[in-house]
A and B are shown apart, each in its own frame.
Chain A
């Protein structure tokens, strides 16, 4: 063996050793995330897929049952399609309304010259209310029999809707409740709006741009990443919508528990049932973990689909620097 070959081999070995150490260091730094990803995402996801092909009631060991859970959920579980329809309705309408309203309130609040802080606080405060308390308050306010909202509407000669008791109004009622707690989005939009360079508005004004023109051509392009963020997080939040429709349905239906009373989510007439509620209902009320896993996977797939669709619009919404 020549000296040159030996030097080359030693150098190669040292290089490999360095690379290995570097790789180990990388893994060590990544390990908190890797563990979190494995424990809180990969393992539950694999488990859910596994259980969706199993007959499992939580007491006895799981037994493979092929596609039975999938067939049952899609063809026989009578709450599945209403829940899917409601969830999609809420994703489209509620998220849309929340983003538009949040942006509108953000624009309004930054323009208020005096007392701006008071308005910001007033708009933000409802966001701090616990969901159960907020929903209870809304069911009381919108009660068709005794609620002050309908009393005012009736006094003004306007039609008084059934809000949480009429299937045509229950989802809009939930949307109103969501709009009331818009504080989080308002703060995010305010921060984005205050970041838009003022010089561009001044230049546009010199060119004679209208208020809408300035919003369309200056404000919107600047805040588009924030709009995308609001839509994506809104879609994910709405896909997990559970507490408010459940509490509203229970309270408005008059069934809040008691001996011999059964409550099925969705009052009135399945109009407030959502997919996350089904996961609980079928898993923990009917002891059918397999079918619950199927519903959970549908929910997961829908979330991924919506997010992917929105992210594909990324290039249209974001500039090259974003």
Chain B
């Protein structure tokens, strides 16, 4: 067993970065995630592992520092919160276009605009649908505990390098600020320059030697036919992610008639909601997507066979519900899908979720028959 500690979610992100052999962190302070950089600066990893930590002048600069460092084949990351991620959207599009691996952490807060500093899940669309310009996707991991904050740093880098694509940890102010027991990973050494050359040096700016063509990291292609070919290759890659790296968790779904679908903080709430509903005699289960992109379509399709309805529980006006509906539709099953959410930094209470379920599916609960929409 690894080292056990009681830590804040944001602190764990920093510790996990150091331990997984991250080469560089570039960021800009914003609530509720500033502890990530503060922890890194206090830990002084440059003395221990040689990891670089730099406070940039803006989110725009920090994501472009990540772009530069990632282009040189290194393991690099940034973290921010909702308004900051909006500023990074341009850079993320460039990173996706240039096919570079990196890790981006979004500790979400309520919006739009300056909004609130309290937790929210309203950046779902921005994270899973692209966010910046052009047809691109990110791998999006949604931790539901401080332990997963730890685990997903290494996993995020692994997937980012597997696909040469940006990966995001999409969490929120509640998980960033909460303290829980965490089992830390063992230290992994940073890649040496020689390892960089074998692992990413074929495409990275590691210095042109006479035996090869220069490496050019760019997203520019003036020839439309070639650009379309690039786009087709990207789409193929996103397809492969859906096939190989879709992750989710099912809680009491085996006999469930009603499925709550929730990720991150709202999935924690829904775990309690399942217990409350079951005590009332309602057969309720929880599907928790761990990867929001790729979205667990197949699990939804399978559950739609038996379930009388899905309730998407989100700390937003209803964003993930569109993906649930799409999955149900694409499988040719029109099981009813409803949404319940709180916004503006408010976390729903478990009882509220059960009340919403009883209200929205009152017809099915009364008559015991599946109704379609």
Are A and B part of the same complex?
A: no
